[in-house]
Structures are given as structure tokens and as C-alpha cells.
Amino acid sequence: MNKARWPRLDLQSRLQGWQSRSAASAPQSSHGPVRAGWRRKYLAASLGLLLALSTAYVLYCIATLPITGGLQVEATQSALTFEGAQGEVFAARGVFKGDRLAAADMPPHLAQAIVAIEDRRFFDHIGVDLRGILRAGWRNSQAGGTREGGSTITQQLARLMFLSQERTFRRKVQEALLALWLESQLKKEDILLRYLNTAYFGAGAYGVDAAARRYFGKKAGELSLAESAMLAGLVRAPSQLAPTRNFGGAKERQETVLQTMVETGALTAAEAEATRAQPVNLRTPPETPPGTNYFVDMVAGDVRRLLGSASGDLTLRTTLNLELQRLAEGVIERRFEAEGTKKNVSQAALVALGRDGAVLAMVGGRNYEASQFNRATQAKRQPGSLFKLFVYLTALQRGYTPQSVVVDKPTQIGEWEPQNSSGRFRGNMTLRNAFAQSVNTVAAQLGDEVGTSAVIDTAKRMGVQSTLPAVPSLALGSAEVTLLEMTRAFGAVSAGVQTLEPYSIRSIAGNSQQALYTKPGAGSEVTGQLGATRAMMIDMLQSVVNEGTGKAARIPNVAVGGKTGTTQEYRDAWFIGFTGDLVVGVWVGNDDNTPTNRVTGGDLPANIWRDFVGRALPVVTKTSPQVARRNTDALNPGTALTPANPAASPAVATGADTGVRGSADVVDLATLAVRGRKIQLEGILGDDDRRAVRALARFLRRREVICEPSGMPERYRCIVDGQNLSQIILGAGGARATPDAPAELLASEDEARSARVGIWRNM
């Protein structure tokens, strides 16, 4: 059968056939008006539907306006500004609210700065600025991201007062509607004033007056143009630009504000340039010294105790001596770096009290960021032999004297048999010697004789608030107490008072600087028999340091009294001691209560105590010969090289080495090359960190260096611009100090370590 053949059509023929059929089936021209009318009806219906949907959405946005939205600030929360003992601000916490400003209080340049940078057409639009939105959209598209906002000041106020911070289209519509409503209800000046009283300026400051007080320590009406421009630049990104954490970013933003003010005619170019050159000084340092946070936590609790739920911004004059604080932190870290791992000890605490109970320094742990638990005030640990203070003091009150004869012998009280750490017994000995050598059996016998309840009563009267169980082993420190409790008890003995009340706040003032609280005077001196008893106790405490278990705490030419404490299996080690002006307590151990590597109170704690107190006394008395020498060097850096003053340098006196002066090349951080001579800097450990070496080389470029023998073998003290170069390097965190460095160099290292700068940044 033959297959049917389909006609073969080329592509051109097919296209022509399709066109013919289309033409034949097309409607006649008489139907054209019908089709056009249908299209118009369809378009009108679509527009009507779109308008109805838009209206419905706007009504929905209005119906869902949050009644309780907007900026929520706890009304009763107080903002706290912390000042050290000398009035220097070192920390701030809480929400700063300041005073609400009236129109008369507003500096004109502040309003101009805000309008220029945030909404330059503020006085021309009706609450929503379409031109500003288009301009922001164009600039953001050119920048490839969000660089400029299109919200007006009125819209921002609407968001702050009524809306949440969510980023949705509905919120933007609500924001625009509220802005239009606000413009219909308020004058432009009132809108601007409310905005400045409400906006967040970073670092916990809400409102421009709060920001002025927070950053510059003054009212908003007292702001300079430079300060106003800096504040105006913060509202766009307050958390990122807060000058206390990003001063460089805040300064750059200030310059942008000034340039914008020139563009809007608020300033001339010359005025803006002069303002850029004006210094802006912060009241609060860029970052709170990390170690002071333990003290700050304690003070915040004291404020609640003293004032209750007081609201408003408060300024606290505290007792903290920042120089002693840095010294305490540095001493502990240096000791732990050298011995901590070897001795299996990871934590420490230190409390330094003045004679009147003022807390001068407090170390609550080695790293606040890792643990906010304050081991000086919150940790309760067994004090061991430290508790014998109360046993012996009670015995002295019952008629014993330091010369009374006691017997070191095997002792059993009920089922308890105390043992001496040495494992042997000495027989007859004086009470003074038994205390100095911390003999356990004698303390147990005394405790049993005077009665455990009497020992507890003595401890309570002297400030121990922890629970003390009435068991025989209490005499050897089996109860748990805090370091602050024990330190205040030793302070009471040193000061000759019944009890010493530690305090951390000298005064509290509000925004108007009115005194809300002032510390009452110290307690009265102890007299009579009680005073004589304390005198005998002081003599026995001094014997501990002079010939007993606390020998490591001895300071040349300084009378020191104190007591060691060590608990079972070496889990805790203590030393608390005092001089005429200071009482200092030190504890070391591990948070998990694991044993240390045989650390006793006369070991690491006594060494830390000596290192700290030996360098703290000149700070307290301000009579340090080292400070005098440092001042002399700074004022007259060339005198030591002058032949007419041979006594200034041992090397000059012998004619051996007169030093060298000139420009310097940096070999490493401890070595300079000056006129072909290699000079080893005093007190600096060498490090060839290339970045640090380059930084030092840039600093020394075109500066004359004056170097003289320091008295340390082959080490030189080099002066640059009147300052000790070793101090400059250590103070910037550029290197570590040698163990035998002079006290002023160790203090510079401690300051850098406390501030976490340079090599200490990530430690």
C-alpha cells in the first residue's frame, strides 16, 4: 500500500499562511470602541482596588499602632558615675537621663548641628520629606548599601515615642502617619526639643543633657560648639560611635557634622576649621579599668543600701585609690606568671583598707571578664590559722600575756585531736612564741579554756558576720569567712578600735551637685584595758613577721604585724598584715577548692603582700625617695651627666662611664644603638617584635636620647623629652619589666597591665 504524502512547505510558506488566516479571523473595525471601553473599565477597577487595598492597609496600620510601644527606660534606675578618692572619674553605669531641657536651655549651635546632620529640610517639610527620601535612596544606591536614612527628625521622634525598633514596612507607614500627626499638633521648635530630650546618645545616655553630663561632665547649656557637633553625630549610630568606646569614630563624625553645618550656612568654613582644632575632653576614660569592676559592683550594692530606690543620675566619690588599684592588680599578675602554674594556684583576692576602714584597693579575682564572682567579698573559705587572732585576743582579755607560759603537747578535746603542721611538739613556750610559730595545739587548748562561745563573741564584735559553728575546731579556722571580714578584724586591732567598718563611698551627689549622702566620721579610739589588750596583740602579730611564719612579709625599716593562714591539704592560703597606714589581706587558692602545690600563708600570699605594701606605702604617704628621684630626672634630665654634679651618678664619680647622648637606632625593645654604642635599657626585657620595634623607632626619630649608667650592671637610664624611656615603653604595654626593675618601672608596667594595652590587650 502506498503511503500518503504530506505536502512539503517551506518556512516562508507557513508564515504567509498563518498571516492570511489571522487577517481573515480579525474582528471588523466596528468593534474597536467596545474593546477600548473594556480596557478603560478594567484599568479603573484595578486602580480602585489598589486604592481600596492601600486605604485598608493604612487603616490596619493605624488600628495596630502599639499603645505601649516606643522607648522604654526604667524610671527608677539610677545612673552612677564613679570617682576615685582624688576625684578622677573611672567608671559609669546605668541609664543616664539628665534633666529635660526647656527651649531657653538649648544652645543654638546644638540645634543647628542636629538639624544639619539629621534633617536639613526640617523647617520646610510637613513631617515626611519625599525629597530627602529620594536623595537618601540615590546616595545609598551609589554607595552600594545603607549610608543615609530618609527619616525626618519628626519621624524619628514618632518612632522613639510610640513605635518599636522593628524594621518592617508597616512600621515605616505608622512612622509616617504619626509624623504627620505630630506636625499638626506641635511647633517645629517643640518637636526638635522633644527629640533632643528623648534620643539615645550611647553609653546609657538618653537625652542630650544626659549625654552632656555623661561624656563631658557639664549641662547641655554649657556645651561648646565642638562638643555639640560630636553629640549631634552620635544619634545615627550611638552604640558604635560612643566616644567612650570609639573616640576616633566620634571625632570623624564630628568633622562630618561641621562640614554639613557649613553646607547649610550654619557656620562659615573658617568657623568650622577653628572648631575642628578645639580639644574635646571626656569626663570618663574610654574604658573602665577591668579590675575595678569588682569594686564597682560592690559600690553599686552599697548605694542601694544607703539610698534605697533613689532615681536620677548620681555621682559617687569613692574611696578607691586608682594608683594602688593598678599596683595591686600588677603585683598579683606578676607573681602568678612566675609561680602560679608551678604551685597549682589559679586565683587570688586582695583588699587594702585605710586606717579608718576606707577600701583603697580591691582585687576580686584575676579576670573580671571571665568571672564576675568577687572572691574578696563573696567567697567564703576556711581561714585556717588566721582565725587564731580571735582565740589569742580572747585569751589576752582573760588575763594571759605574751610572756605567759603554755605547753605544746598532744591534745585531745572530745574526739578531736589537733596536730601541728610540723608533726612534733615543742613543750614549754611563751604565748608570744606559740602565736608566732602558729602552734595548733596551743590554740586548741586556749580555745577550749576560754570557751568557743567567747571566741565567737570576740569575732562577731570585730566584724565577722559569717556563721561560726560552736565546735572545738573553730579555734583552728574550720568555719568559712570572707577576706573582707577578716581584713576588717585585723584593721580593728591595728587602729585600736572596737570594730572597723569598711566603707567604699565618701559622698553621693545628684545632678545639681546637692549632697545626698556624706560618710559620717570614724569611730572613737579604744582606751583603758581594752586598749592595753590590743597593744599586746599587736606585739604578738609583729612577732609573726619578725621571727615567725610570716617572715616573707618583712619590709626593711617598716614595722609590720600580721598572721598567716593555711587550710587542710593546702586548699587556701592567707596573709593579712598591717602597717601604720594600711591593713591588707591576701588570699590565694582555686575556685574549685582543689589543693595547691603546698602553698602556705607564709609563701605566695606573704610575698604578694610584701610586694604590694612595699610599693604602696610611698603612694599613701607621698614621701617616696623614688618619686623624688623620678621628678628630679624629669625636670633636669641632663644633670646626671654634668661633671659638676658627680654625686648624681656612681659611674661619673669613679670616672668610668659618663654615658652617651644623641640620636638612637632601635636594635630591640631593650637595646639602642647610640653613636656606635649598644645601650641596654634598665628594667626592660628584650623583645624583637618587629611591629613594636618599628613603633619605637618612629617615636625616637629626630629625638635626642640622653643615657647614663643606672647603677644596674650594664644597664642605662635613657631620657627622652624629659621622660624615662623605659617608663614610656612599659607604660604603653610595649614590653615586660625585668624582675629587678626599679619600683617606678614596675608601677608603669602595672598601669599598662591594668589598662590592658599593648602586649596585655588579650591577657
Strands 561-566 and 427-430: unpaired
**Mean pLDDT computed over 530-539:** 87
**Mean pLDDT computed over 258-269:** 93
**Whether the Cβ atoms of residue 313 and residue 392 lie closer than 8 Å to each other:** no
**Mean pLDDT computed over 4-21:** 41
**Mean pLDDT computed over 103-120:** 88
Task: Report d(CA 598, CA 622) in Å as an integer.
Answer: 38
Burial of 174 (0-12, 13-18, 19+ CB in 10 A): buried
Q: What pLDDT score does 286 carry? A: 60
Which distant-in-sequence residues (6+ apart) come within 8 Å of 498 by Cβ?
461, 462, 492, 523, 526, 530
- Does 670 have pLDDT greater than 80? yes
pLDDT tens string 375-427: 999 999 999 999 999 999 999 999 999 999 999 999 999 999 999 988 899 99
**Whether the Cβ atoms of residue 686 and residue 670 lie closer than 8 Å to each other:** yes
Q: What pLDDT score does 734 carry? A: 86
Task: Report d(CA 712, CA 727) in Å as an integer.
Answer: 16
Q: What pLDDT score does 738 carry? A: 87
**Mean pLDDT computed over 579-593:** 95
pLDDT tens string 79-97: 889 999 988 889 988 888 8
**Mean pLDDT computed over 167-176:** 63
Calculate the CA 104 to chain-centre distance: 37
Q: Is 744 left (phi over 0), alpha (psi -120 to 50) or beta?
A: alpha
pLDDT class of 56 with cuts at 50, 70, 90: low
* AA identity, residue 151: S
| Higher-confidence position of 652 and 267 | 267
Task: Report d(CA 581, CA 354) in Å as an integer.
Answer: 6
Task: Report d(CA 732, CA 696) in Å as an integer.
Answer: 11
Q: What pLDDT score does 296 carry? A: 95
Q: Which of 163-167, 373-377, 633-637 has the highest mean pLDDT?
A: 373-377
Q: What pLDDT score does 36 carry? A: 66
- Does 158 have pLDDT greater than 70? yes
**Nearest-5° angle of CA 151, CA 127, CA 232?**
50
> What CA–CA distances, in Å, run from 716 to 412, 497, 723, 735, 737?
62, 49, 14, 16, 14
Q: What pLDDT score does 18 carry? A: 35
Task: Report d(CA 493, CA 97) in Å as an integer.
Answer: 45
Tell me the three state secondary structure of residue 31: helix
Which distant-in-sequence residues (6+ apart) come within 8 Å of 625 by Cβ?
none
pLDDT tens string 642-666: 222 333 333 333 345 778 888 888 8
Calculate the CA 328 to chain-centre distance: 15
Which grid cell sits at 502?
569598711
Q: What pLDDT score does 448 carry? A: 96
3-state secondary structure 348-377: EEEEEEECCCEEEEEECCCCCCCCCCCCCC
Q: What pLDDT score does 139 carry? A: 58
| Higher-confidence position of 153 and 57 | 153
Q: What pLDDT score does 497 carry? A: 87
Which distant-in-sequence residues (6+ apart) come within 8 Å of 115 by Cβ?
122, 123, 153, 192, 264
pLDDT class of 13 with cuts at 50, 70, 90: very low
pLDDT class of 747 with cuts at 50, 70, 90: confident
Q: What pLDDT score does 309 carry? A: 66
Burial of 672 (0-12, 13-18, 19+ CB in 10 A): buried
pLDDT tens string 272-317: 999 998 888 888 766 678 889 999 999 988 988 888 766 678 999 9
**Mean pLDDT computed over 590-602:** 96
Q: What pLDDT score does 317 carry? A: 94
- Does 335 have pLDDT greater than 90? yes
The residues facing 674 across adjacent strands are: 664, 677
Task: Report d(CA 326, CA 753) in Å as an integer.
Answer: 8
> Percentage of residues in the chain with pLDDT exceeding 90?
46
3-state secondary structure 230-250: HHHCCCCCHHHHCCCCCHHHH
pLDDT tens string 481-496: 999 999 999 999 998 8
How many secondary structure helices (H) and strands (E) does the chain include? 26, 19
Rg (CA), the chain: 38
pLDDT tens string 727-741: 889 888 888 888 888
Q: What pLDDT score does 441 carry? A: 97
> What CA–CA distances, in Å, run from 174 to 58, 63, 134, 151?
8, 10, 19, 12
**Mean pLDDT computed over 738-745:** 85
The phi and psi torsions of 334 (rounded to 5 degrees) equal -65, -45
Strands 405-408 and 705-709: unpaired
| Higher-confidence position of 253 and 131 | 253
pLDDT class of 521 with cuts at 50, 70, 90: low
| Higher-confidence position of 454 and 182 | 454
**Whether the Cβ atoms of residue 325 and residue 289 lie closer than 8 Å to each other:** yes
| Higher-confidence position of 435 and 14 | 435
Q: What pLDDT score does 744 carry? A: 84
**Whether the Cβ atoms of residue 606 and residue 331 lie closer than 8 Å to each other:** no
- Does 26 have pLDDT greater than 60? no
| Residue 583 DSSP label | E
- Does 6 have pLDDT greater than 50? no
**Whether the Cβ atoms of residue 92 and residue 324 lie closer than 8 Å to each other:** no
Considering only CA atoms, which of 597, 588, 602, 615 is closest in space to residue 332? Answer: 588
Q: How many other β-carbons are positioned within 10 Å of the β-carbon of residue 18? A: 10
Q: Indicate the average pLDDT of the chain.
A: 82
- Does 628 have pLDDT greater than 70? no
Q: What pLDDT score does 635 carry? A: 25
**Mean pLDDT computed over 321-344:** 93
- Does 512 have pLDDT greater than 90? no
The residues facing 405 across adjacent strands are: 430
Of the candidate ranges 137-146, 507-516, 655-664, the one whose mean pLDDT is the lowest: 137-146
Q: What pLDDT score does 555 carry? A: 94
